[in-house]
Amino acid sequence: MATIEKATFGAGCFWGVELQFRRIKGVIDVAVGYEGGHVDHVTYQQVCTGQTGHAEVVEIDFDPQIVSYDELLEVFWSIHDPTTLNRQGPDVGTQYRSVIFYHSVTQQQAAERAKAAANTSGRFLSAIVTEISPAQTFWRAEDYHQRYLEKRGIDIACH
């Protein structure tokens, strides 16, 4: 049986981020939720206030034999603007920040290398502000947020 790993990313509106990662071969599951704050059992209504410290994130279960963490990082950089602090498109607030929550030292090192490479690549006009932090408690979002775009037949991302 394959070893399944977790990756957690925040890149703005979690609906579109979820949709992008679900399309990747080797991704087993994606859940949307909240991470990085100071309130337990947090709800969408609380996160929307910007007062809990949480980011909207996706928690990805993936098979590293099929898709590598580095490949997931490349998708992460490509689906949002990591140079805008606490904002993605029309969504503004700390809950929409660009963040990588790593689950191991290996993921931390890979994220830091990828961020440094992206910063010097010329791909972005400004410096990358993506936060890289250890994984904390993932609070799964309410059921109506899971597969939100898919359930509505929307096949485009939020960004």
Residues labelled as active-site residues: 13
Q: Which of 129, 103, 104 is nearest to 118 (CA)?
A: 129
Task: Yes or no: say if 88 and 27 are a contact pair by the CB < 8 Å rule.
Answer: no
Rounded distance between C-alpha atoms, residue 143 and residue 136, angstroms: 21
In the numeric block, which tokens belong to residue 133? Answer: 């932090």
With DSSP H G I counted as helix, E B as strand and the rest as coil, what are the percentages for the chain, rounded to 5? 30, 25, 45
Helices (H), 23-125: 44-48, 69-78, 105-120
